[in-house]
Amino acid sequence: MNFKNDFLAALRAGQDHQALMELVLRHRTEGLSVNAAYEALHEIWAEHDFGTKMAEEGTLQDTLETVMEKVWYGQPVL
């Protein structure tokens, strides 16, 4: 599977942001760039129309946006 599919499956399974960051790290060690990781996360965000919905604590959107922020600001950096 590719990063986007792996991430989306884990997100839908209810993984928390820490587990999702571990998934990002694993794919980064396999050669995924930070830009490619963020782009895939942004695609998930856009495909779920999260730009027009209000986030509620503990939602998929909240978890996804937490990971997006960490990736955007360089965590994890390899």
pLDDT per residue as tens digits for the range 45-55: 999 888 776 65
Stated pTM of the model:
0.85
- Let me know how long the chain is: 78
Give dist(CA 24, CA 67) in Å, integer: 9
Sequence-distant (6+) residues with CB within 8 A of 22 are none
Report d(CA 24, CA 15) in Å as an integer. 13
Query: CA 23: distance to chain centroid?
Result: 9
Q: Structural domain boundaries of the chain? A: 3-72
| pLDDT value, residue 49 | 85
Confidence of residue 1 (pLDDT cuts 50, 70, 90): low
pLDDT at 71 over 70: yes
